[in-house]
């Protein structure tokens, strides 16, 4: 993988698209597997460095209303480089970020299920999971993120 200038540019390009579709697939598969273990069908979404959707699946029987939520949880976790579970703590009435859910044209979700994806310590995307309890969502998103 070493080598001269041209090769390095090629490598750079590849490494710059941080969350590629081939990265998202195993991540989603891991989250699906965890969801099956939990006996809870889920919506699972993956966003890239720009907060834009890379892939989404709705498992059979998962809530329709959670399609949007899973995609927005992924956006939120990348947009603020934080789990939505952690953000939730600061977004309650009286908290320092209370009202943040009204920003970004309604794309900010403030309950558990969104987890940032990191490479070399830098956030390069996020996974968002929606369905069931907050703890289930977080566990499922964690399973996905671990596969990244």
Three-state secondary structure readout of 19-69: CCHHHHHHHHHHHHHHHHHHCCCCEEEEECCCCCEEEEEECCCCCCHHHHH
The two tokens of residue 34 are 């965890």
List the one residue from 112, 127, 139, 145 that touches a second copy (CB under 8 A): 112
Give the nearest distance from C-beta 87 to a second copy in angstroms: 9
- Told to check if 3 binds a second copy by CB under 8 A, we report no
Closest distance between a second copy and the C-beta of residue 148, in Å? 16
Q: What does the per-residue mask of binding to a second copy show for 40-79, with x meaning CB under 8 A?
A: --------xxxxxxxxxxxxxx-xxxxxxx--x---x-xx
Closest CA to 76 of 121, 135, 42, 125: 125
Q: Report 118-137 residues binding a second copy (CB under 8 A).
A: 120, 122, 133-135
Asked whether position 142 contacts a second copy by CB under 8 A, the answer is no
Residues 10 and 27: their CA atoms lie apart, in Å, by 25
> Which residue in the set 36, 37, 92, 146 belongs to the binding site for a second copy (CB under 8 A)?
92
CA distances from 55 to 87, 95, 139 (A): 23, 33, 19
How is residue 126 written in tokens? Answer: 């996020």
Residues of this chain, 8-47, that bind a second copy according to CB under 8 A: 8-9, 12-13, 15-18, 20-22, 24
- 82 near 126, Cβ under 8 Å? no
Interface with a second copy (CB under 8 A): 8-9, 12-13, 15-18, 20-22, 24, 48-61, 63-69, 72, 76, 78-81, 88, 91-94, 96-106, 108-112, 120, 122, 133-135
């Amino acid at each position: 993988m070493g080598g001269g200038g041209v090769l390095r540019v090629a490598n750079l390009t590849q490494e710059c698209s941080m969350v590629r579709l081939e990265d998202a697939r195993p991540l989603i598969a891991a989250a699906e597997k965890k969801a099956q273990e939990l006996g809870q069908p889920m919506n699972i979404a993956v966003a890239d460095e720009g907060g834009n959707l890379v892939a989404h699946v709705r498992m059979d029987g998962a809530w329709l209303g959670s399609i949007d939520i899973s995609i927005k949880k992924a956006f939120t976790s990348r947009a603020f480089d934080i789990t939505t579970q952690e953000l939730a703590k600061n977004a309650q009435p009286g908290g320092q970020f209370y009202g943040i859910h009204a920003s970004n044209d309604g794309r900010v979700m403030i309950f558990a299920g969104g987890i940032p994806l990191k490479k070399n310590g830098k956030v390069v995307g996020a996974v968002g999971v929606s369905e069931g309890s907050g703890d289930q969502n977080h566990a499922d998103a964690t399973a996905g993120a671990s596969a990244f």
